[in-house]
Each structure stands twice: as C-alpha cells, then as structure tokens.
Structure 1
Amino acid sequence: MTELSFHMAQQVLDSQPFSALVGARITEFGDGAAVLEVDVREELTQQNGFLHGGVLSYAADNALTFAAGTTLGAAVLTGGFSIQYVRPAGGRTLIARAAVVHTGRRQAVVRCDLYTADDERAERLCAVAQGTVLSALPT
C-alpha cells in the first residue's frame, strides 16, 4: 500500500482541474478521515442563492475518497455514493467531514457529513453522504 501524507493529498487535490476551479482544500487528513473545505462564493450557488447541490456532491465524493485513501492507499476510485440533502446550504464555508466506517482488503465504506459554517465558524448540517471506495490497484 502506498502511504499518502497530508502534503501529498493536497498535491493530488491541487492536480484536479475541477477541484482548483471550485477552490477546494484539504484541512485534515489521516487515520481513516479527511476534511475538505470550499469557500462559498456566488459562482457556486444556484438561483436561490444557496450553494449548488452539485458542489455538495463534489465535496462529498472527494472527501469520501480521500478518507478511504488513508486506509486503502493512494490509488482509489469511488465505487458509488448516495447523498441526502438535509437543508439548503448557506454560509461562508462548506465543510465535508468524511470518516471510514469499514475497510476491507479492496474496498472501504465511508460516511461524510457536510456542514456550512458562518463567519464565526458556527456549523449547520446540510447533507449526509455514504459511499463505497474501491482500491484501483490490479488484483
């Protein structure tokens, strides 16, 4: 298994053109968990001024795979995930906190809670996601 450090994880994220476009950053990484943050800005909102659901899905997907990467190694792919939107996402920062629930030899089940934080960093839950992440290494 290839160990992935916090610095390497941020480099992987930075190498993804869409992640750069969204302005995502990793703020925590390791021991079966990862936190991804995105600053809310007008270009990422929908017609009612809330953060677009696609941005929440993006954040969940990447947080899930980065968390799984801490247990499966660097070469991972999303096998699938579901997301439930709890409330409209308003605020200053989107925070996606993912944690591995179970890891097998070639896959991990991961949960991600998505929050928005205001200027004082008070958080409100806006979505919950769960998915399966697969090792991309050949058998």
Structure 2
Amino acid sequence: MKDSLDLAAAQEALAAQPFSRLLGTRLVAFGKGEAVLELDIRDDLRQQNGFVHGGVLGYAADNALTFAAGSAAGAHVLTSGFTIDYLRPADGALLRAHAHVVRAGRTRIVSRCDLSTLDAQGTQTLCAVAQGTIAVRAAVHGDTAPGI
C-alpha cells in the first residue's frame, strides 16, 4: 500500500478489512481531510428495539475518523481513542458517517464525525457525533506497516 492515499487506494484498504466486508461498508468520499462511509441498514444490524445497534455506529465512527485522518497524513494511521455521543435512536435505510480532520499534528490527528441515517425518501437525520484521536504510526513507532 502507498504512503499517500487516493480514493481507490483507500477503498482497497477498506475492502481488506474482513469486518467491513461483512457489514458491506462503502467508502464513498475520501480526500482533503474528509471521508464518508456508508452502509445499508439491515435487520441483522439492529438491536432488540429495532434501532441500529450502537456498536455499528461506533464501528462506523471509528473507521470514518481514521480514514479522514489518513486522507491528511497517509496510510500509517491508527485510532488511538474516540468518544461517541448518541443523540437519537438510529433508524432508516442507510447509515452515513462523515468525518473531517479538526487538527493534524505531526504525531496525532483529531477528527470529528457526524453519523446520520437516511430514510427511503433521502431525509437525513443526525443520530450521533464522535471525536477521535488518531496516531500517526510512522511518527510514533518508526514502523512501516500500514494502519488503515
């Protein structure tokens, strides 16, 4: 994998993640400190009350935050930590995680992510927000293994 990423290379990185393939996640936008992930909401992603499970939202936030950071710093990034605030139950046809870099430092990047659902008519509803710290691995550990 290249150090710097374009949309096609980032999509390859996502496709290399078995869990992302299992969920059917798509990277639909990538570059200039931003990334957008989407996944279709299926019944097997819901919890007992019929809403999208919070773990699915957490997964989408984690990946979107890190891909946004990767668009600014290259492939050698890895989530250091993130927080998520659930604003309302997630329901609809599509989950969209739109992340952008807030600040890119030499060894750490801070990203923010809005998680929204879209219904069959395309109405978007914000259901959660997340913020994360992404480590730039080559700068922190001197390794060359890709992170995304």
TM-score per shorter chain, which class? Answer: over 0.9
Check whether the contact 1:25–1:37 (CA below 8 A) recurs between aligned residues. Answer: yes
Query: What CA distance in whole angstroms lies between the structure 2 residues aligned with 1:77 and 1:36?
Result: 17
Deviation track 1:116-136 (CA, whole Å, cap 9, x = no partner) reads: 001121100000000000111
Equivalent residue number for residue 135 of structure 2: 134
Structure 1 residue runs of 4+, over 2 Å off? none
State the Cα RMSD in Å.
Answer: 1.0
Equivalent residue number for residue 103 of structure 1: 104
Q: Which structure 2 segments of 5+ residues have no match? A: 143-148
Equivalent residue number for residue 67 of structure 2: 66
What is the identity, as a one-letter code, of the residue corresponding to 1:17?
P
What is the identity, as a one-letter code, of the residue corresponding to 1:6?
L
Q: Which structure 1 segments of 5+ residues have no match? A: none
What is the identity, as a one-letter code, of the residue corresponding to 2:71?
T
Alpha-carbon shift at residue 51 of structure 1 (Å):
0.4
What is the identity, as a one-letter code, of the residue corresponding to 1:25?
R
Equivalent residue number for residue 75 of structure 1: 76
What is the identity, as a one-letter code, of the residue corresponding to 1:24?
T
The alignment-based identity, stated in percent, is 56
Question: What TM-score does the superposition give when structure 2 sets the normalisation length?
Answer: 0.92
Equivalent residue number for residue 16 of structure 1: 17
Deviation track 1:35-61 (CA, whole Å, cap 9, x = no partner) reads: 000100011000011000000000000
Deviation track 1:3-40 (CA, whole Å, cap 9, x = no partner) reads: 10100111110110000111100011000000000100
